[in-house]
Amino acid sequence: MNTIRKREELGPNVTRYVIDAPLVATHRKPGQFVIVRVSDHGERIPLTIADADPELGTISLIVQSVGKTTREMAMLRSGDAIHDVVGPLGRPTHLQQFGTVLCVGGGIGTAPLYPIAKAMKEAHNHVITILGARTRDLLILEDDMRRVSDELIVTTDDGSYGTKGLVTDAIRALVGGGTHIDQAVVIGPPLMMKFTSLLTKELGIPTMASLNPIMIDGTGMCGGCRVTVGGEMKFACVDGPEFDAHKVDWDSMIRRLGTYRTEEKTAAERCDHECRIGLGTRGPEWILPTD
C-alpha cells in the first residue's frame, strides 16, 4: 500500500499525486516509470515518475484520466492509498552533454518529459522546450518546464495561447531561423511522436522517443509491450521505454495501442455509471497471503 501524500489538479482531467514509495524514490533515474494497481481488482498500468524526493521517500506521478483505471485513480484523495506501486522500471534516459537539446512535449507527454528536460539541463545542455496542446486549458506544467528550459515555446492547435499550430511547425520555424539542434527528445501522443520524428529525420536531428505501449508486468515476462525498432522486436518495459525515434515502427505501435478499444470503452462506461452512483466495481475476493 502506498499512501497519497498530496494531490493537486493541474488541469482538466490531469492530476499530480505525491506518493510514498521510498525504494522507488531513492533508486529512480529520469526516464523510468512505475506500474501501479489502484485497487485489489485493478489493472496494472504504467506511469512515468515525474519527480522524486529521496529524502521524504516520495515520488510524483502526473496522470491524465483517460479510461477506467486512471479515472478510478482520480477519485482518490490525500491520505488514500494506492494498492501497489512497483518500480523504477525501464532503462533510464541516456544523459550526456549533447550541446543543444530540443525537448518536445505533447499533451500529457509533458509529464514524462519534465524529468528528462530537467536532467538534460543538469547535464549542462542548452535546453529548448516546445510544448504542444490542443487548447490553452490542456497545457500542463508550463511553469515547471520554463524553470528547467533555456527557451520555451508553446503551441496550441487553436491559437488560444502561444503560437497557433503544431509542434512540428514550431520545430521547422526554429531550425529555419538557424538554431542548431544536437539532440531531440519527443514524448506525447503516438501520432504526434510519429510526425515529429519524421520531421527530425528529414532535418537530420538525432531523436529519441519514449514509447507507451500497453504493459502488464514491466519485467520482460509477458511480451505484451513489444515494439518493432530497426526491424527488431524489443520489449519496451526492459529495452526501453526510450528508443531511437527514427527506427520505431510507429504504425504498428499505434495500432497495438488500440487492441482493447472495445473493452476499454465498455469499462469506462461502466465506471462512469458506477462511479457516479458511488458503487465502484468489485471483483471476486482473493485471498491475499498476508497472515
User: Which residues contact ligand FES by CB under 6 A?
Assistant: 215-218, 220-225, 235, 237
Q: Are strands 151-156 and 163-164 parallel, antiparallel or unpaired?
A: parallel
120: Cβ contacts below 8 Å, ≥ 6 apart: 95, 98, 101, 103, 127, 185
The alpha carbon of residue 231 and the mean position of all alpha carbons in its chain are separated, in whole angstroms, by: 24
Nearer to ligand FES, 105 or 213 (CB): 213
Q: Is 215 near ligand FAD (CB under 6 A)? A: yes
Q: Which segment (64-72, 145-153, 244-252, 281-289) binds ligand FAD by CB under 6 A? A: 64-72
Query: How many Cβ atoms are within 10 Å of 231's Cβ, its own excluded?
Result: 7
| Residue from the set 98, 114, 241, 253 that interacts with ligand FAD by CB under 6 A | 241
Strand, coil or helix: 142: helix
Stretch 220-249: interaction string toward another protein, x if CB under 8 A: xxxxx-xxx----x----x----------x
Q: Which one, of 101, 140, 104, 153, lies nearest residue 122 by Cα?
A: 101
Kindly state the cell numbers that stand for 234.
Answer: 524489443
| Residue from the set 42, 106, 107, 241 that interacts with another protein by CB under 8 A | 42
Q: Is 138 near another protein (CB under 8 A)? A: no
> With contact defined as beta carbons under 8 Å apart, do 127 and 121 qualify?
yes
Q: Is 136 near another protein (CB under 8 A)? A: no
Q: Which segment (95-103, 138-146, 194-202, 219-227) binds another protein by CB under 8 A? A: 219-227
CB-count burial class (<10 Å; 0-12, 13-18, 19+) for 89: buried
Stretch 163-202: interaction string toward another protein, x if CB under 8 A: ----------------------------------------
Largest CA distance in the chain: 66
Q: Is 56 near ligand FAD (CB under 6 A)? A: no
Q: How many residues does the chain have?
A: 291
Q: Is 274 near another protein (CB under 8 A)? A: no
Q: Which one, of 251, 255, 215, lies nearest residue 236 by Cα?
A: 215
| Residue from the set 25, 63, 141, 174 that interacts with ligand FAD by CB under 6 A | 63
Q: Is 54 near another protein (CB under 8 A)? A: no
Tell whether the torsion through CA atoms of 224, 1, 89 and 196 is positive or negative: positive
Nearer to ligand FES, 46 or 132 (CB): 46
Q: Is 33 near ligand FAD (CB under 6 A)? A: yes
Minimum distance, C-beta of residue 15 to another protein, in the bound complex (Å): 19
Tell me: cis bond preceding 54? Omega within 30 of 0 counts.
no
Q: Is 203 near another protein (CB under 8 A)? A: no
Q: Which segment (22-30, 120-128, 181-189, 195-203) binds another protein by CB under 8 A? A: 22-30
